[in-house]
Structure 1
Amino acid sequence: MSDYFSDTHEQVRQSARKFIATHVLPYIDEWEEAGEFPRDLYLKAGDAGLLGVGFPENLGGVGEGDVFMKVAVSEELMRSTSGGLVAGLGSLDIGLPPVAKWAQPEVKEAIVPPVLRGEKIAALAVTEPGGGSDVANLKTRAVKDGDHYIVNGSKTFITSGMRADHFTVAVRTGGEGHGGISLLLIDRDMPGFSNGKKLKKMGWWASDTAELFFEDCRVPVNRLIGAENAGFIAIMSNFLFERLSLAIMAYMTAEIALEAAMAWAKQREAFGRSITGFQVTRHKLVDMATQVEVAREYTYRCAALMQAGKNPIKQVAMAKNFAVEVCEKVTREAVQIHGGMGYMRESVVERLYRDAKILSIGGGTDEIMKELIGKQVGL
């Protein structure tokens, strides 16, 4: 393992590894085909302390500010071989941080601990139909009416959209552009909230993804997260860790695909010998291993910058784009090495190949990342 991890990190890693081996791997193929995993898995993850990593102790969390503890847990959760499961189980990691940081004290105390225990599910709702990565121009509007906001609009592609209990929702409370955006915490049972049918996806089958609708949805004013019209800064702050997490998902997806390809190549015979006996296969696997290693180590460097209190917008964007590119290449080659078996649903590389694609879209597309990088380097 890397020098970035302490003995405590390794203990947490082993706990997460045991959780996946015991509660997930025996069932993951079934859950993928079913398009969902049991809700009680949140409770089991909460009991194991996995959901609380990165959140304040006074709200039921552990390891606040310890970026590498979160990296260790994230890596082991990806050993489930299902990006969808990790995205669904981890939707709190993008939905809950703004609440834990900036919500009213009484709201924090009521909402955060049950989510970290796995009793409730939290999600983030920013993306809108026709909006995509253009966060600054979102249309969902919230108008203050006495001690409530009246919210109208819709969101789409929302992870845990079908069964989350709490949604951190980006809304427009002011004028056009990023200066008019706020965050509201909206509960499933608030009047005027509804969701559409479950969306079918190319990959991430085990996660539920849905549209959300707000029709004169009444939200108490104390559910404002942070200051009014200051939500864009909170969203951008949230994006930094989300993008780091997507880089982790990318190099871990690639690593698992590489391991599967190596195992297959060693036992698969062609023309009287294992296919690792052919230089073209060996060199392909070496290139894959090199790319995975570089993607992982650069992501660790970004995590170290975050651990040191820096704001590495450029580096994290680079890490995400590079790791995703590696992921797409490695999973494609892993399928190719498997031949016809790589195209079969029973093969793990088939799932990894499908799951890889969303990583270049979620958290800001490759193109958006390049624009961010361009600004940071003075272009």
Structure 2
Amino acid sequence: MEYSTHKYTLTSSSIHIDNENQLAAFIQRFKQALQEAFYEQADINQLSLQRGLPAAVWTRIMDEVPLSVAIPKEYGGRGSIVKECLALLSAASYESLPLSLTFGINIALFLEPVSKYADEQVKAPIFDRFLTQQCMGGLMITEPDYGSDALNMRTSYRQVDGHYHITGTKHWQGLTGQADFWLVTARGLLPNGELARDIDFFISDNSIPAQRIKVERLYNNLGLYMIPYGLNTIDIEVPAPQRLVAESTGIKMMLDVLHRSRMQFPGMGMGFIKRMLDEAISHCSQRMVGSSNLLALDSVQFQLSQIQSAYTICSAMCHRSSHISGITHNLAMEGIEANAMKALVTDLMQKSAQLCLQVSGANGYKISHIAGRGIVDSRPFQIFEGSNEMLYTQIAEMILKKMRKSKEANLFAFLSAYELTRDASVVFKDTLDFVPGEGLIQRKLVDLGKIISRVISANYVLAIANEGYRDDLVKGSIEHLRRDITHLVSNLYLDNRVKVIDDYIAGSDWLSFT
């Protein structure tokens, strides 16, 4: 019996090692394709100045079938394993953040929802085209008049003779005019002319005329040049099987999809932040000032240590996401974690790019420099899929609601018992030992949400430390989080209610006082 158990353990270990080796080989092939596409076939610094990518560059990248990571094994893919998806996104973002976002859109906003919610009869042909024809897909939610207010979207559908007729307008969808498939969200048109409260998802196939979505115009987006965005008019008919099947309600399905997407932002952040760190260290090591290099300056050490802290936090987020965000999990009710990951990692991406540019001097202030375009490309990450201010506000509101329900007014007392912050809260006990109170204005809710997101992230860092992650990086990251939390808590005590003055012109022209 003991021999049998021991033999099984060795076999399981061998399978695990084999899977790890296969993943490493897959990622290495993908990285090699990026090297050839961006540095041999073309110059990525020149590509960053033009819209889209040349067909030959796309073909070389897609020849490695990168999107196979998000396709189940039974359909010929690699299995929709979160760790593999994040590894692919990280490898892409090290070279090109727009490319990583392109894959992120395909994975989290199309392939994973189709894998989880689509009718079985429509999956096989879609996945086959992704694997063999280099197809891409995206998600249409946002409308010109509603933005983040998705629940009030006006795109509607009605069922007619075994198909759905969908009409409406969508905009700011990544891959506009480029995606072969779309997930289109709409609300049912009721007999009285009103729209149903719930939301449904439909698959459209642009290769079929009746399902083709019309691009009215493309936007001249700032940054992310590789990805087309624009305005779309929808007037399509899709067969009934192309409607996604929700486990309960369409709204919860949408939350599950969006929360899973937000939990994959660390994958896009991982390679990007690592690139900022590598570029900053390399430049500061080589740049001489007097008799020593820039690394000898204490302020430079502080700046680079902040990027290194972001690298550690993002690593911990990827570790956490790999365990909890697979399609077997329903994430509809996991808004706190999803919001915390998305908001904080995108703030860290922007900050890392700013710091890398700062130490790079004048050279960094070029759109062809990795830090210069990194600032522009990472900025919209703080806005799309929910602006960070909105997400931080939601985090604070959800935690305050939990505190009221548990009848606990003290923030530390609550966080020390809360699963997502239990271990890390002790580290910041002196700072967190206060009562937020009721009736916080929104700017204070944003600060409180930032505090909570950092404590949650510190919990992630301690968790990956327990798995053997290097101690010096953990200590440095915790110290930076302590500094951030202390600063944010001090903001809560400042009674700042300054508001904009609309009619500010009168009495404010400096020339009249000179």
TM-score above 0.5: yes
Determine which of 220, 234, 242 is the counterpart of 1:200.
220
Check conservation: 1:133, 1:368, Cα contact below 8 A.
no
Q: Give the AA of the match of 2:362.
A: G
| In structure 1, C-alpha distance between the alignment counterparts of 2:329 and 2:101, rounded to whole Å | 26
Whole-angstrom distance in 2 between the partners of 1:310 and 1:196: 36
Return 6-15 or 200-209, whichever deviates more: 6-15
Match of 2:29 among 15, 18, 34: 15
Amino acid of the residue matched to residue 66 of structure 2?
A: L
What letter is aligned with 1:67?
V
**Whole-angstrom CA distance in 2 between matches of 1:174 and 1:237:** 24
Amino acid at match of 1:257: M
Q: What is the identity, as a one-letter code, of the residue corresponding to 2:90?
A: E
Aligned equivalent of 2:179, options 152, 155, 164: 164
Q: SS of the residue aligned with 1:300?
A: helix
**Given the superposition, is the C-alpha separation of residues 204 and 40 from structure 1 closer, same or farther in structure 2, using an over 3 Å criterion?**
same
Matched residue type, 2:92: L
What is the CA distance between 1:251 and its match in structure 2?
A: 3.8
User: Does the 8 Å CA contact 2:94/2:274 hold for their aligned counterparts?
Assistant: no
User: Which residue number corresponds to residue 54 of structure 1?
Assistant: 70
Q: Which amino acid aligns with 2:73?
A: E
Asked whether the equivalents of residues 51 and 90 of structure 1 are also in contact (C-alpha less than 8 Å), the reply is: no
Q: Is 2:230 the counterpart of 1:210?
A: yes
Normalised by the size of structure 1, how large is the TM-score? 0.89
Taking the aligned partners of 1:101 and 1:24, their CA distance within structure 2 comes to 34
The residue identity in structure 2 corresponding to 1:320 is K
The aligned residue for residue 247 of structure 1 is 266
**Following TM superposition, by how much is the alpha carbon of 1:355 offset from its aligned partner in structure 2, in angstroms?**
1.0
Give the partner amino acid of 2:78.
Answer: V
Say if 1:261 and 1:221 are closer, same or farther in 2 by CA, change over 3 A.
same
Q: Once structures 1 and 2 are overlaid, which stretch shifts more, 256-265 or 45-54?
A: 45-54
1:155, distance to aligned residue in structure 2 (A): 0.7
**Alpha-carbon separation, structure 2, partners of 1:226 and 1:284:** 49
Offset at residue 341 of structure 1 (A): 0.9
**What's the secondary structure of 2:164's corresponding residue?**
strand
1:158 alignment partner AA? Q
Which residue does 2:101 correspond to in 1?
Answer: 87
Alignment-derived partner of residue 350 in structure 1: 372
Structure of greater relative contact order (alpha carbons < 8 Å, 6+ residues apart): 1
Rounded Cα–Cα distance in structure 2 between residues aligned with 1:261 and 1:361? 26
The letter for the 2-side match of 1:208 is P
Report the equivalent of 1:278.
297
Name the counterpart of 2:38: 24
In structure 2, what residue type is equivalent to 1:172? R
- Summarize deviations over 1:13-58 as a string: whole Å, max 9, x none: 3233222222334432333222111346555455424211032122
CA drift at 1:229: 9.3
The one of 281, 290, 299 aligned to 1:262: 281
Change (3 A) 1:171 1:228: farther
SS of residue matched to 2:49: helix
Q: Which consecutive residues of structure 1, in runs of 5 or more, have no partner in the other structure?
A: none
Secondary structure in 2 aligned to 1:123?
A: strand
TM-align CA RMSD: 2.8
Secondary structure of the structure 1 residue equivalent to 2:168: strand
Q: Note if contact 2:27-2:87 (Cα within 8 Å) is conserved in structure 1.
A: yes
1:34 aligns with 2:50: yes
Cα distance change of structure 1 residues 368 and 242 upon mapping to structure 2, 3 Å threshold: same
Matches within 5 A, 1:81-230: 82-93=96-107, 94-173=109-188, 179-188=197-206, 189-191=208-210, 193-215=213-235, 217-226=236-245, 230=249
How far apart, in 1, do the equivalents of 2:202 and 2:258 lie? 17
CA contact (8 A) 2:215 2:233 kept: yes
| Per-residue Cα deviation, 1:98-139 (whole angstroms, up to 9, x for no partner) | 223222333212222102334322111111112222221111
User: Residues of 1 paired with 2:305 and 2:232: CA distance?
Assistant: 45
1:124-170 alpha-carbon deviations (Å, 9 max, x no partner): 11111122222211111112222232222111111111121211100
CA contact (8 A) 2:89 2:104 kept: no
SS at match of 2:238: strand
8 Å contact kept, 1:142–1:152 = yes
Structure 1 distance, partners of 2:255, 2:339, is 12
Alignment partner, residue 395 of structure 2: 373
- Residue in structure 2 matching 1:320, options 320, 333, 342: 342
Q: 206, 212, 232: which is aligned to 2:251?
A: 232
Of the candidates 345, 359, 365, which is equivalent to residue 337 of structure 1? 359
Q: Do the aligned partners of residues 275 and 285 (structure 1) sit closer, same or farther apart at CA in structure 2, a change above 3 Å counting?
A: same
3-state secondary structure, aligned to 2:264: helix
2:46 and 2:368 in contact (8 A); partners too: no
Q: Quick one: distance in 2 between partners of 1:222 and 1:251?
A: 37
> Does 172-181 or 258-267 show the bigger shift?
172-181
In 2, the alpha carbon distance for the partners of 1:12 and 1:240 equals 27
Contact 1:136–1:178 (8 Å) recurs in 2:
no
Q: Name the amino acid aligned to 1:184.
A: F
Q: Is the 8 A contact 1:51 1:118 kept in 2?
A: no
Tell me the distance in 2 between the aligned counterparts of 1:300 and 1:177: 41
Question: 1:18 is aligned with what amino acid?
Answer: Q
Kindly indicate whether the alpha-carbon contact (under 8 Å) linking 2:214 and 2:234 is maintained by their aligned counterparts in 1: yes
The answer to whether the 8 Å contact 1:250/1:359 transfers is: no
Q: 1:111 to 1:166 in 2, by over 3 A?
A: same
AA matched with 1:361: I
1:280-331 per-residue CA deviation (whole Å, 9 max, x = no partner) reads 1122212221232123213322332335947443223212222112112111
Q: Which amino acid aligns with 1:31?
A: L
Where in structure 2 are there 5+ consecutive unaligned residues?
A: 1-18, 402-514
Q: Which has the higher strand share?
A: 1
Structure 2 distance, partners of 1:365, 1:183, is 23
Distance 1:119 1:323, change over 3 A: closer
Structure 2 distance, partners of 1:371, 1:117, is: 43
Once residues 78 and 247 of structure 2 are traced to their aligned partners in structure 1, the CA distance between those partners, rounded to angstroms, is 30
For the residue of structure 2 that corresponds to 1:58, the secondary structure is helix
